[in-house]
């Protein structure tokens, strides 16, 4: 009983702080260097154009952006948007474009920019021989970098994905899971499964296929979510019995892309009363928050969304 009182004294302090300021919820990783590239050509004009092709793919989220007729003028006149261009010590050319000018030009061309806050993808690889695992990791990292997709890679024997990969991904601070499974008949390929609150998709092939498919799906989901109206939800979560549980609940909310803002309104026994801003309807929010520790109960008589938190054994 004494320990429970200590928890609520400590928890109350955190809640008082959060009551005053609340916080924005971002299930995203800020992607650096979206507006720059390093290319092999040393001719100033050609290097700027090659860099622009790479940057347009990362900025728009579209794998075919470099071949998009609407963006052809930006490639042809790439030097107009160059902020910095220099030859590196390795003999390549580093090009950095003016972010504001390039964003405006893409919008003027009728295309949209995929924002820098992007969903972090937790990639789970099967057990492999060390050399093969390193090669697969390198290919994943290169493909993700070319598409501007933030990833974190885990090994199957070091992560407890079980049958709930999205929950495992969220415990790792990610918003989606990309699971690789070996294909005995084709050692050069894998079966890939993307699991996110808004999609569950599969591909067969190498890591480049997986990264392209995952990026395409997440860009589509992000644009659909951007078009959804933002609504207010009152949410009560019970079973929050200690500070680690409190932190875990807030982490779960932060890793749900649909949730844009969280404010803690009150603590009552082992329950948290939260005010959420989220895009989409209640069903979308339920899917976004569902995991192996946070269970939806129902809307209660007060019109609040009701959840029960189950701590890990």
Looking at residue 105, its pLDDT comes to 97
Looking at residue 1, its pLDDT comes to 40
Per the CB < 8 A criterion, the answer to whether 218 and 263 are in contact is no
Residue at which a domain ends, from 80, 108, 136: 108
What tens digit of pLDDT does each residue of 45-94 get?
A: 999 999 999 999 999 999 999 999 999 999 999 999 999 999 999 999 99
Confidence of residue 5 (pLDDT cuts 50, 70, 90): very low
**Cα–Cα distance, 284 to 54 (Å, whole number):** 34
First and final C-alpha spacing in the chain: 20
Q: Is residue 66 part of a domain?
A: yes
Q: Is residue 264 part of a domain?
A: yes
Asked if 71 and 126 sit in the same domain, the reply is: no
215 or 280, which is more confident = 215
Per-residue pLDDT, averaged over 194-199, amounts to 85
Judging by DSSP bridges, how do beta strands 121-125 and 151-155 pair with one another? Answer: parallel
What tens digit of pLDDT does each residue of 256-271 get?
A: 778 888 888 888 878 8
**Cα–Cα distance, 205 to 305 (Å, whole number):** 41
Given a cut of 50, is residue 303 above it in pLDDT? Answer: yes
Asked if 42 and 132 sit in the same domain, the reply is: no
Per-residue pLDDT, averaged over 202-214, amounts to 96
Q: In this structure, what is the dihedral angle of CA atoms 134, 217, 152, 59, given to the nearest 10 degrees?
A: 100
Instruction: Please give the mean pLDDT across all residues of the chain.
Output: 84
Domain count, the chain: 3
Confidence of residue 289 (pLDDT cuts 50, 70, 90): confident
Per the CB < 8 A criterion, the answer to whether 28 and 118 are in contact is yes
Per the CB < 8 A criterion, the answer to whether 203 and 217 are in contact is no
Residue at which a domain ends, from 226, 250, 273: 226
Given a cut of 50, is residue 312 above it in pLDDT? Answer: yes
- Rounded percentage of the chain residues whose pLDDT exceeds 70: 85
Per the CB < 8 A criterion, the answer to whether 273 and 265 are in contact is yes
Asked if 158 and 143 sit in the same domain, the reply is: yes
**Strand residues in the chain grouped as ranges (E):** 23-24, 29-30, 36-39, 82-87, 93-97, 117-118, 121-125, 151-155, 176-182, 190-196, 199-205, 230-238, 259-268, 271-279, 294-299, 305-309
Tokens 């390198």, located at residue: 138
pTM for this prediction:
0.78
What tens digit of pLDDT does each residue of 158-181 get?
A: 445 455 788 788 878 888 999 999
Q: Is residue 168 part of a domain?
A: yes
Domain of 199 in residue numbering reads as: 122-226
Q: Is residue 13 part of a domain?
A: yes
Asked if 163 and 251 sit in the same domain, the reply is: no
Cβ density class 110-125: b for 16+ within 10 Å, e for less:
ebbbbebebbbbbbbb
Low-confidence winner among 25-39, 155-169, 273-287 (lowest mean pLDDT): 155-169
């Amino acid at each position: 009983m004494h320990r429970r009182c200590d928890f609520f004294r400590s928890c109350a302090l955190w809640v008082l702080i959060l009551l005053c300021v609340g916080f924005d919820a971002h299930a995203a990783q800020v992607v650096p260097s979206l507006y720059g590239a390093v290319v092999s050509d040393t001719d100033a004009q050609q290097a700027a154009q090659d860099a622009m092709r790479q940057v347009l793919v990362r900025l728009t989220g579209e794998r075919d952006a470099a071949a998009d007729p609407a963006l052809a003028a930006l490639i042809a006149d790439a030097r107009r948007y160059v902020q910095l261009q220099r030859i590196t010590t390795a003999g390549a050319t580093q090009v950095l474009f003016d972010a504001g000018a390039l964003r405006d030009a893409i919008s003027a061309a009728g295309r949209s920019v995929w924002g820098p806050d992007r969903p972090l993808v937790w990639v789970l690889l099967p057990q492999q021989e060390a050399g093969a695992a390193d090669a697969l990791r390198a290919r994943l990292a290169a493909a993700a970098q070319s598409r501007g997709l933030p990833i974190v890679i885990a090994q199957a024997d070091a992560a407890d994905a079980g049958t709930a990969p999205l929950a495992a991904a969220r415990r790792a601070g990610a918003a989606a899971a990309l699971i690789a499974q070996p294909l005995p008949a084709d050692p050069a390929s894998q079966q890939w499964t993307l699991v996110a609150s808004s999609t569950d998709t599969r591909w067969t092939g190498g890591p480049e296929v997986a990264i392209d498919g995952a990026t395409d799906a997440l860009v589509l989901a992000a644009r659909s979510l951007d078009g959804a109206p933002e609504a207010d939800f009152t949410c009560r979560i019970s079973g929050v019995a200690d500070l680690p549980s409190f932190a875990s609940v807030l982490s779960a909310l932060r890793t749900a892309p649909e949730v844009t803002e969280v404010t803690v309104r009150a603590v009552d026994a082992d329950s948290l009363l939260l005010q959420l801003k989220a895009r989409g309807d209640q069903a979308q929010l339920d899917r976004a928050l569902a995991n192996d520790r946070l269970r939806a109960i129902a809307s209660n008589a007060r019109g609040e969304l009701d959840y029960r938190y189950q701590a890990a054994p």
